[in-house]
Amino acid sequence: MEITDAMLAVLDQSAGPVGLVECIEITHSKWGAYRYVMNSSSNLVLRHEDGSSYTYTAAPIEVTKSSDENNLDQEITFTLNDLGEVIPDLLDLIIYDDEIELPQVAYRAYLTGNYNAPTIIAKGLELTGVTRDKNGSQCEASAPGLNESGNGEVYSASIDPSLIGFY
């Protein structure tokens, strides 16, 4: 692993504070996208990995990533201190559907001051659980289980070339 100059700036903060600006994006076909930035007191315009720019709303959010980040089972837990005003209303839009489509969650982290591309990305996560209390909504998002039935097939790079990067 190569340490870039940007990552060295996070470690050596003698020229001023440098850190991560963490963001959560929640999307669904019924309500579009809600984007929140965690480590900022004002709204920010951030560029995604595909080059598109979006405005993220400053919000009191706490994000906890899974302790095991070296596999495909990505999980994050985040608390949106919305006083129960945002998430419950969004869930009411989908809870009574015949076939429930889970909301999608994306986590992105940017280096402070460099908002041209995220340095950490976890997207395609499904919102699998929500608990609420008087302060807000605690949400759990995880990668979808793609082979939970265990079909007995052995996956290798010769069968599926997209696995080459994992060897």
Domain assignment of residue 107, yes or no:
yes
Q: Give the containing element (helix H, strand E) for 88.
A: helix 87-94
Domain assignment of residue 55, yes or no:
yes
Cβ-Cβ contacts under 8 Å for 32 (sequence gap 6 or more): none
CA-CA distance, 43 to 74, in Å (whole number)? Answer: 27
Domain assignment of residue 142, yes or no:
yes
CA-CA distance, 144 to 126, in Å (whole number)? Answer: 6
Mean pLDDT of 77-98: 74
Domain assignment of residue 159, yes or no:
no
Domain assignment of residue 155, yes or no:
no
pLDDT of residue 130: 81
In 3-state terms, what secondary structure has residue 50? coil
Q: What is the pLDDT of residues 2-56, one digit of tens each?
A: 666 766 666 665 555 567 889 999 988 888 888 989 888 889 999 999 999 999 9
pLDDT of residue 157: 66
CA distances from 115 to 111, 126, 150, 162 (A): 7, 25, 41, 29
Domain assignment of residue 161, yes or no:
no
Domain boundaries, position 130 = 5-146
pLDDT range class, residue 64, cuts 50, 70, 90? confident
pLDDT of residue 92: 74
If one counts the domains in the chain, the total is 1
In 3-state terms, what secondary structure has residue 45? strand
Structure-token match 């290798």, residue found: 156
pLDDT of residue 25: 93
Q: What is the pLDDT of residues 102-157, one digit of tens each?
A: 889 999 988 888 889 898 888 889 888 888 777 778 888 888 765 555 565 666 66
Structure-token match 């929500």, residue found: 130
Domain assignment of residue 158, yes or no:
no
pLDDT of residue 48: 93
